[in-house]
Structure 1
Amino acid sequence: MLCADQNFDIAQVIRFFRSKPGELIIYYELEESEKSSSRGIVEVCSDTNRITRFMEKPQDGTTSRLASVVFYCIQRDTLSYMSDFLNLQPQATDRSFGRFWEWLINEKQLDVFGMKLPTGFQLIGQVGLSDYTKWLTHYSTKQHNNSAIPITCRSYARVGLMGNPSDGFNGKTIAMSISNFWAEVTLAESQTLVLLPHPLNDPTEFGSLQDLFCISRKEGYLGGLRLLQATCKKFYQFCSKQGIALTKQNFTLKYDTNIPRQVGLAGSSAIVSATLKCLMKFYNITDSDLPKPVRANFILNVETDELFITAGLQDRVVQVYEGLVYMDFSKKLMEEQGYGNYVPLDMSNLPLFWLAYLSDPSDSGRIHSNIRQRWLSGETRVTLALTEYISPFRVALKDRDWSCLARLMDQNFELRRSVYTDDCLGPGNLRMVQLARQFGSAVKLPGSGGAVVGLCLDQARLVEMRQAFQEAGCVFCVIAPYNPSASSVGGQR
């Protein structure tokens, strides 16, 4: 047996084996050119990692493409089954490890668990030295070419168009990723694992104590570096728990971002999302290993569990699915499947949305105030107010009824204002809303505060409005929606 990369993390395999009350089989996903009739095929429960069925070189009748690589961890007590198996198999041709595992799992119902190795395997069985040499040369060349090319992935800022921030209260939202602002992460293979600080966001030298104060107030502590580290830690933990054996490859990570901080445009989760994209590609982790709904949960958990950042699922879902997305986080869905119902919406011929944000915002997290406590105490008005216009908003999008869309955005803001109160929304947000309305534009908050998103149906007034916002000390831009179906790279450069 020859593995495409023998240098996988044995310590991780042993740790996984010790965490399970049974035996261990290492498996991989067959390539298109490989036939299931040449391998021992396994069926694995995705929730428990338990091998539910083993088929030794099946000729047909199986849809599984997961193959055993003849790498097993067996407990001492299980070896006693070997003599029983041999007594049942008088024919020498039936006395194989594959038939042994088939008997243990299918007939004896022994607890056997699987750990996936996300790489390729070849030359299992009767092969010669020339076969090994040929495969090693092929893979070494392939590995060298891959490692020489850094992996760069992007995730985009997002604006909540309706329903936000009800994602934290089992509500419904519609949000859109925008290409105006993004976070970009680059991963390159290296001898040791290195996380490079950003020269502006992760400074360790300051011109003065005043500089330290100003930068810390705006950027926080450790900037984005902590996001990279927390994502890597959670990624290793996730793969270990899910039974995915990683290769022992090291890398250097660096990031860049132009998403403005503290204005509710999902800057932190964009860095985590882009980092996760890089790690998945580097370690060959596929959508079947880490499906999109689970990926959104993963990104949220990095922030909430590792870094104690108050957050909901909306930002992470939009940054995983990308584009214009409807999200239903109802309690029943979340409890039954662990995630909501996420539906990409048609992005063709969208109206011209605009965005403005404060150049020197306060902490956007303050916008939530005591809403969570009120919701936990059973005040359903909180969720109902934030999700009331979701259905008509979807209809208006489908019918291209932009006047209705604008009216619903205004009504959504007023409902949110009645729930949160002016004191909670803050004078900066209210000033931006008031300014937009002076020019006849629909306007609402796209996130947790510090920015507003609008829809101005009178395009002639857009230039005047831009100038007014800029004179008021705000940054103003026309939104460029990010449509993944129109991009050939899907967030990867």
Structure 2
Amino acid sequence: MTAAEMVVERRAYARVGLLGNPSDVYGGRALSFTIANFSATVRLCPSPELLIQPHPHHDLVAFPSLPTLVSRLQSEGYYGGVRLLMAICKVFYNHCIQNNITLKAENFTLSYDTNIPRQVTAGLSGSSAIVCAALSCLLHFYNVGHLIKVEIRPNLILDAEKELGIVAGLQDRVAQVYGGLVYMVHSTVRQRWLNGEEFMISSMKEVAQLALDGHKALLQKNYSELARLMNRNFDLRRQMFGDDVLGSVNIKMVEVARSVGASSKFTGSGGAVVVLCPDGDAQVELLHKACQEAGFVIQKIKAFPSVLTEEELASLVTSQSMS
């Protein structure tokens, strides 16, 4: 085998939460899909020593001036992708040790690239995309994909992010591991819901129910009902968390879409919204005009990319039918 043939490269796509978020953090349900517009790519090359390679743009440590450094931190935060790659390496190794999975004694160099906008990384799940792609590389390099089942992988990705103090639910990781359009029901991963207020409990249950109803609406191709559910999802989130938490710009994106009769909600925690135009092309044109006037950028969603092999899909279907 040549050196080029030993190089592993895997991609994970940005995730859009269609219905049910943020109930995935509270033991609820979610309906999500990946989009081909944005993605993260991780590359693994065999090497004499193990090296995590910084990205030339996202992991900058040199700046022309102090004001430039501060401006960069204010707009994009402190961390790039190196910490994410290191975290998934640790979680992957520990999982293999704990489950008696033998790994070959070979080293590698990990590098990454991403075009998922940093400003909306929480909305499109940019960090978990890097972790997901890296895990796929590790599974292939060590040839242990058959030993670490597909349904376990989202938890490994989530565990890697927990290592870094990232608070999240399973929605992003399930959608990115499976690819395409995914309906998921969540069990409680970690006790985060410490407030017993009745309004919060009942509202979160309703948000979870929206994902179940949306699943039915999609199967029936009832897009007007899907639009209503999307709007209700955002309205409930706004009532629960308040405008100060959601942010005025995020709220304005939703309101601009609704001003032309479209439905809209956050794709994740904010920074980006998903819009459904049930009335067709004329409504889409109105939306483009309204967004241009408001200074927002529209991305038409490309096909839902599938990331699992036929063998992995078959094993997943088999394990679910037996459970």
Q: TM-score, with normalisation over the residues of structure 2?
A: 0.88
2:124 to 244, 265, 271: 265
Deviations 1:100-159 (A, max 9, x none): xxxxxxxxxxxxxxxxxxxxxxxxxxxxxxxxxxxxxxxxxxxx3366441110001111
Matched, 1:292 2:150: yes
Query: Who is 1:483 aligned against?
Result: 305
Secondary structure of the 2:2 match is helix
Residues of 2 paired with 1:376 and 1:268: CA distance? 32
Contact 2:203-2:236 at 8 Å conserved across structures:
no
Query: Where do 1:72-221 residues align within 5 Å?
Result: 144-145=1-2, 148-221=5-78
The answer to which structure, 1 or 2, has the higher relative contact order (CA under 8 A, 6+ apart) is 2
> Aligned in 2, Cα 1:313/1:417: closer, same or farther, shift over 3 Å?
same
Contact 1:160-1:176 at 8 Å conserved across structures:
yes
Matched, 1:253 2:110: yes
Matched, 1:401 2:259: no
Contact 2:49-2:108 at 8 Å conserved across structures:
yes
Contact 2:179-2:307 at 8 Å conserved across structures:
no
Residues of 1 paired with 2:165 and 2:238: CA distance? 27
Query: Who is 1:422 aligned against?
Result: 243
Q: CA deviation at 1:440?
A: 1.1
| Paired letter, 1:442 | S
Secondary structure of the 2:298 match is strand
Long gaps (5+) in structure 1: 1-143, 336-370
Query: Where do 1:355-374 residues align within 5 Å?
Result: 372-374=193-195
| Paired letter, 1:409 | M
Residues of 2 paired with 1:213 and 1:377: CA distance? 42
2:142 to 268, 271, 283: 283
> Aligned in 2, Cα 1:375/1:291: closer, same or farther, shift over 3 Å?
farther
Contact 1:188-1:251 at 8 Å conserved across structures:
yes
Moved more, 457-466 or 203-212: 457-466
Q: CA deviation at 1:221?
A: 2.2
> Aligned in 2, Cα 1:226/1:476: closer, same or farther, shift over 3 Å?
same
Contact 2:29-2:209 at 8 Å conserved across structures:
no
Q: CA deviation at 1:388?
A: 2.8
Query: Who is 2:319 aligned against?
Result: none
Larger radius of gyration: 1
| Paired letter, 1:295 | R
Q: CA deviation at 1:481?
A: 3.3
Contact 2:179-2:308 at 8 Å conserved across structures:
no
Secondary structure of the 1:450 match is coil
Query: Where do 1:223-372 residues align within 5 Å?
Result: 223-263=80-120, 264-287=123-146, 289-304=147-162, 306-331=163-188, 372=193
| Paired letter, 2:26 | F
Contact 1:439-1:465 at 8 Å conserved across structures:
yes
Matched, 1:410 2:231: yes
Count how many residue pairs are aligned between Structure 1 and Structure 2: 308
> Aligned in 2, Cα 1:413/1:378: closer, same or farther, shift over 3 Å?
closer
Secondary structure of the 2:40 match is strand
> Aligned in 2, Cα 1:437/1:378: closer, same or farther, shift over 3 Å?
closer
Contact 1:167-1:314 at 8 Å conserved across structures:
yes
Deviations 1:5-41 (A, max 9, x none): xxxxxxxxxxxxxxxxxxxxxxxxxxxxxxxxxxxxx
Query: Who is 2:79 aligned against?
Result: 222
| Paired letter, 1:236 | Y
| Paired letter, 1:484 | S
Contact 2:177-2:307 at 8 Å conserved across structures:
no
Residues of 1 paired with 2:18 and 2:109: CA distance? 37
> Aligned in 2, Cα 1:309/1:191: closer, same or farther, shift over 3 Å?
same
Secondary structure of the 2:182 match is strand
* Structure with the largest fraction of strand: 1
* Structure with the largest fraction of helix: 2
Deviations 1:405-446 (A, max 9, x none): 111111222122222222222211111111111111111111
Query: Who is 2:284 aligned against?
Result: 462
Residues of 1 paired with 2:308 and 2:109: CA distance? 31
> Aligned in 2, Cα 1:213/1:477: closer, same or farther, shift over 3 Å?
same
| Paired letter, 1:188 | C
Q: CA deviation at 1:297?
A: 0.5
Secondary structure of the 1:199 match is coil
Residues of 2 paired with 1:250 and 1:190: CA distance? 6
Residues of 2 paired with 1:285 and 1:205: CA distance? 38
| Paired letter, 2:54 | P
Q: TM-score, with normalisation over the residues of structure 1?
A: 0.59
Secondary structure of the 2:292 match is helix
Q: CA deviation at 1:251?
A: 0.9
| Paired letter, 1:276 | L
